[in-house]
């Protein structure tokens, strides 16, 4: 028996080494950087710019705070009210609301690359498609008519604008189109489709009062949660709305819709709820609930990834934030304090 296993072992070694000789792709790749795996927590920051930061959690759970400052000690501050991180293959883009900027880093080493400030005013979220970044801008908060998209050419970081004329917030892409959520704090009630080639925009009306607060796309369906307690599905092949699903009224202020492995997840209060993408009713039994010391900054960031529920808590918005990992069954796996204010999102490398 021993002999046999030894033999198998040797054979497999030979096989592997021969493979590696034949095919470079199989060699253990050079590590891309200290932040190659794991995930980032974006700490929005308060009025003290230093409280805006990025925390890195490695695959084995080691926490590193203040990533962009550690890696770039001489770099000027990037601002506060950090709203979003988005990526392309090699770069991470951090959106700062206070400085009307998008700061570009290497996504694996967090080495500073550049800062983009032209054609940006009160930026919110971004997405990358075919070598260009698309960033939503609210400009003046008081009106949606001046809202626009910044298009950043990622070769030379030149920028241009596309007017939208309706509240813009979250943005994503699917099948070569850009999808923009027209909803912020209960204003706006549409999803806008942007054709990146023609730059033509097409609004999809969600109906009066149905102001979207989060969205997810899978296949050809866009799912969005509205402030009017509805889950609305949009067929993206013809931009037609399915019959909305009502969210039980006991689940007040549903938000944070996320789609993962054929399941939809969202939050209400300090609890997480889920349903299958084809379900037509919603259970009022939470799959996970966490205890928040703050009634006001709970579920400030939320994401489900690889069977783990990530929750962040902003506390009183003026102290270190907290981040939690829960299993899909609702068991607490990890809780941590981040050096920064108001953690608002999780981003996976």
Residues lying near another protein in the complex (CB under 8 A) are found at: 47-51, 76-77, 79, 98-101, 115, 117, 121-122, 140-142, 185, 253, 295-297, 315-320, 339, 341
Measured from the CB atom, is 7 or 185 closer to another protein?
A: 185
Q: Are 38 and 56 in contact (CB under 8 A)?
A: yes
Shortest Å, Cβ 51 to another protein: 6
Shortest Å, Cβ 218 to another protein: 26
Residue 50 to residue 70: CA distance in whole angstroms: 12
- The residue among 118, 248, 144 whose CA lies nearest residue 203 is 144
Shortest Å, Cβ 143 to another protein: 8
Measured from the CB atom, is 126 or 315 closer to another protein?
A: 315
The residues near 50 (Cβ < 8 Å, ≥ 6 apart) are 77
Measured from the CB atom, is 161 or 339 closer to another protein?
A: 339
Shortest Å, Cβ 303 to another protein: 19
Shortest Å, Cβ 282 to another protein: 20
- The residue among 273, 257, 270, 253 whose CA lies nearest residue 221 is 257
* Per-position b or e across 141-177, b if 16+ CB within 10 A of its CB: eeebebbbbbbbebeeeebeebebebbbbbbbbbeeb
Measured from the CB atom, is 17 or 47 closer to another protein?
A: 47
- The residue among 285, 279, 278, 321 whose CA lies nearest residue 45 is 321
Measured from the CB atom, is 80 or 172 closer to another protein?
A: 80
Shortest Å, Cβ 317 to another protein: 7
- The residue among 167, 33, 40 whose CA lies nearest residue 94 is 40
Residue 173 to residue 194: CA distance in whole angstroms: 9
Q: Which tokens is 252 given? A: 């007040």
Measured from the CB atom, is 321 or 326 closer to another protein?
A: 321
Shortest Å, Cβ 326 to another protein: 23
Measured from the CB atom, is 18 or 293 closer to another protein?
A: 293
| Torsion angles phi and psi, residue 43, rounded to 5 | -100, 110
């Amino acid at each position: 028996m021993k002999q046999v296993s030894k033999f198998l072992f040797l054979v497999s070694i030979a096989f592997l080494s021969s493979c590696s000789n034949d095919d470079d792709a199989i060699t253990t790749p050079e590590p891309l950087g200290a932040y190659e795996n794991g995930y980032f927590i974006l700490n929005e920051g308060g009025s003290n710019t230093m409280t805006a930061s990025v925390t890195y959690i490695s695959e084995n759970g080691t926490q590193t705070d203040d990533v962009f400052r550690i890696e770039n000690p001489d770099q000027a501050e990037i601002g506060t009210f950090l709203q979003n991180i988005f990526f392309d293959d090699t770069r991470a883009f951090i959106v700062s609301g206070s400085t009307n900027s998008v700061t570009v880093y290497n996504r694996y080493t967090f080495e500073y690359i550049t800062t983009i400030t032209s054609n940006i005013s009160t930026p919110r979220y971004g997405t990358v498609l075919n070598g260009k970044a698309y960033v939503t801008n609210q400009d003046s908060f008081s009106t949606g008519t001046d809202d626009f998209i910044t298009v950043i050419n990622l070769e030379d970081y030149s920028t241009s604008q596309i007017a939208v004329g309706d509240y813009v917030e979250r943005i994503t892409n699917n099948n070569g189109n850009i999808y923009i959520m027209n909803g912020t704090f209960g204003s706006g009630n549409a999803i806008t489709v942007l054709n990146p080639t023609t730059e033509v925009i097409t609004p999809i009306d969600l109906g009066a009062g149905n102001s979207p607060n989060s969205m997810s796309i899978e296949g050809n369906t866009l799912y969005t949660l509205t402030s009017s307690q509805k889950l609305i599905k949009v067929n993206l092949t013809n931009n037609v709305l399915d019959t909305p699903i009502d969210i039980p009224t006991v689940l007040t202020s549903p938000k944070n819709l996320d789609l993962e492995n054929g399941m939809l997840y969202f939050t209400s209060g300090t609890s997480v709820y889920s349903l299958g993408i084809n379900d037509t009713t919603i259970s009022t039994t939470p799959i996970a609930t966490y205890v928040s010391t703050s009634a006001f900054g709970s579920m400030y960031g939320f994401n489900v990834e690889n069977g783990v529920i990530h929750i962040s808590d902003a506390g009183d918005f003026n102290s270190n934030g907290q981040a939690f990992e829960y299993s899909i069954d609702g068991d607490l796996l990890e809780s941590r304090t981040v050096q920064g204010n108001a953690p608002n999102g999780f981003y996976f490398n």
